[in-house]
């Protein structure tokens, strides 16, 4: 299994824990490598979360995401893995990750995963 980059994520204390508010972070410069073809993939990640005690430090998030630059990983897996890492480190009240990749072979794929969506509680497709 591939190396974990989770330790690169740094956090700072949420100064307004009594209020549920939303932080949205858009990262249009995400790139990883397709494990099957060895070709680079490109996408835009949109992270939306309601912080509890901790917020993610943006510079550390940038370095964390850059570690996928030469990592071979499928669309579906990278989306779920980044969501898992952020949830583990931040323990937010809510979190959704949308990963929109660029077209390949005339086909464009977007993967959306939420921390709160367990099996049996599916969002309307």
8 vs 25 by CB, closer to a copy of itself: 25
Q: Write each residue from 51 to 90 as x if it is in contact with a copy of itself (CB under 8 A), else as -, in one continuous string.
A: x---x--xx-xx---x--xx-----xx-xx----------
Active-site position among 7, 20, 27, 34: 34
Active-site position among 7, 27, 41, 84: 41
CA distances from 122 to 33, 37, 115, 119 (A): 29, 32, 12, 6
Catalytic: 34?
yes
Contact 48, 22 (CB under 8 A): yes
Other Cβ atoms less than 10 A from the Cβ of 122: the count is: 8
Contact 86, 97 (CB under 8 A): yes
Catalytic: 52?
no
Is residue 6 involved in binding a copy of itself (CB under 8 A)?
A: no
Please, what is the minimum distance in Å from the beta carbon of residue 15 to a copy of itself?
A: 5
- Catalytic (active-site) positions: 34, 41
């Amino acid at each position: 299994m591939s190396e974990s980059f989770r330790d690169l994520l740094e956090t700072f204390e949420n100064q307004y824990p009594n209020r549920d508010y939303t932080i949205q972070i858009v990262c249009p410069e995400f790139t990883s490598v397709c494990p099957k073809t060895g070709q680079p993939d490109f996408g835009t990640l949109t992270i939306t979360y309601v912080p509890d005690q901790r917020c993610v430090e943006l510079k550390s998030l940038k370095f964390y995401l850059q570690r996928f630059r030469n990592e071979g990983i499928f669309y579906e897996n990278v989306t779920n893995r980044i969501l898992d890492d952020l949830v583990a480190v931040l323990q937010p009240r809510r979190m959704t990750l949308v990963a929109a990749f660029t077209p390949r072979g005339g086909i464009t794929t977007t993967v959306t995963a939420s921390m709160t969506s367990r099996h049996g509680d599916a969002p309307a497709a």
